[in-house]
Amino acid sequence: MLKNDILSILKANKGKHISGQELCEMLNVSRTAVWKCINELKSDGYIIESKHKSGYLLMEEPDIIDYMEISPYLKAEFIGRNYLHFESISSTNDYAKEIAPSATDGTAIVAEEQTSGRGRMGRHWVSNKGQGIWLSMILKPNLSPNEAVKLTQVAAVAVVDSIKEIADIRSGIKWPNDIVINSKKVCGILTEMNGEIDRVNFIVIGIGINVNVQNFPEDLCGKATSLSIETGKILDRKPLTASILNNFEKYYRIFLINGFSSIRNLCKEYSLTLNKDVKVIINNNECIGRAVDIDDDGNLIVVFKNGEKKTIASGDVSVRGLLGY
Ligand code: BTX
């Protein structure tokens, strides 16, 4: 796309004017075509100085996570290569499910804001404009549904690595789907599936990360945090978005080739649930036990006070740490 090419040239020449004539020659297009793209970039939020004789200078880039902005950091080969970006959407997971039947494997849907972001069991997910990464990925693996549920933990491992890589802070996994820093939730993962008993049609993995959120609604105070609150810095969402896609693709490939057991050690290493007392709620009954292991299927092994050992599958139960997360 010509607009992308012009933007890449302006970015590569930061601090230096580049003339309309140079752009035309480099890209083999007309002056009018260049002028039209520059205007489009300006209305996308790029501040571009246009000076008679010296040409165009990129002064400021908008804080948006569209494909043009994240692609310089994107190394993944198929995750996020089809990338749909929205200013505002009800829920990236809902949209992903809508388009999944005809979408390509690895399609990513990203929004600056979600007006009806969802957590598990219909819970609401706060998704403030421009302050987080609200992302869904469409996957079409050749897997049975009981294998597919393990992808939540594959995604969780990828997110922990990306947070470390970009924000330089350690986070952990509250089994199976929350990423937590200092006992507060910084990210939630929602995996949804469409399929038959023995076959998956598609999977949607939704990831919501609080990046630069400064204030949460009252009911989340003390429970939620953001990377910015924890690091004391405003973080660039662009490399973080790409890093999540890169790391997810890496672990997803390992999972597809070698199975969950190859990810298990990292799940255990990053787990904040293991070796802690947990409250397991099964059919409204609360039982207290100790989480002792994560097995090769991604289940949590809990030993209860009466000595009974149970295998807890995600989705079956609600697991709470006794001391917050
Ligand atoms: P969950 O059901 O484990 O967590 C939901 C609970 O988390 C809420 O009931 C609330 O207490 C708390 N919460 C709500 N918003 C936030 C927030 N921003 N930060 C921390 N805690 C919060 C977790 O569900 C899965 C969330 C997935 C969100 C992604 S965003 C992209 C995709 N689209 C979509 O609609 N959902 C997913």
pLDDT attached to residue 1: 83
Provide the domain count of the chain.
3
In tens, the pLDDT along 206-255 reads 999 999 999 999 999 999 999 999 999 999 999 999 999 999 999 999 99
Give me ligand 1 centre to Cα 318, in Å.
15
In tens, the pLDDT along 45-54 reads 899 999 988 8
Q: Provide the CATH number for the domain around residue 80.
A: 3.30.930.10
| Sites in the chain below the pLDDT cut of 50 | none
Give me ligand 1 centre to Cα 203, in Å.
18
142 and 240, same domain (yes or no):
yes
pLDDT attached to residue 282: 76
Give me ligand 1 centre to Cα 239, in Å.
22
CA distance linking residue 258 with residue 60, whole number of Å = 45
131 and 186, same domain (yes or no):
yes
Q: Which atom of ligand 1 is nearest to the CA of 93?
A: 33
Give me ligand 1 centre to Cα 19, in Å.
47
Q: Which residues contact 104 (CB under 8 A, 6 or more apart)?
A: 78, 82, 138
136 and 162, same domain (yes or no):
yes
pLDDT attached to residue 66: 95
26 and 117, same domain (yes or no):
no
125 and 251, same domain (yes or no):
yes
In this structure, the residues whose C-beta lies within 6 A of any atom of ligand 1 are: 91-93, 114, 117-120, 123-127, 134-136, 177-178, 185, 188-190, 206-208, 210, 220, 224
Enter the ipTM. Answer: 0.99
Would you call the peptide bond into 176 cis, given omega within 30 degrees of 0 as the criterion? Answer: yes
State which residues form the domain around 260. Answer: 67-270
pLDDT attached to residue 324: 59
Which pTM was predicted?
0.92
Q: Which atom of ligand 1 is nearest to the CA of 132?
A: 18
Q: Which residues contact 291 (CB under 8 A, 6 or more apart)?
A: 175, 273, 274, 275, 276, 277, 278, 300, 301, 302, 319
79 and 38, same domain (yes or no):
no
pLDDT attached to residue 281: 81
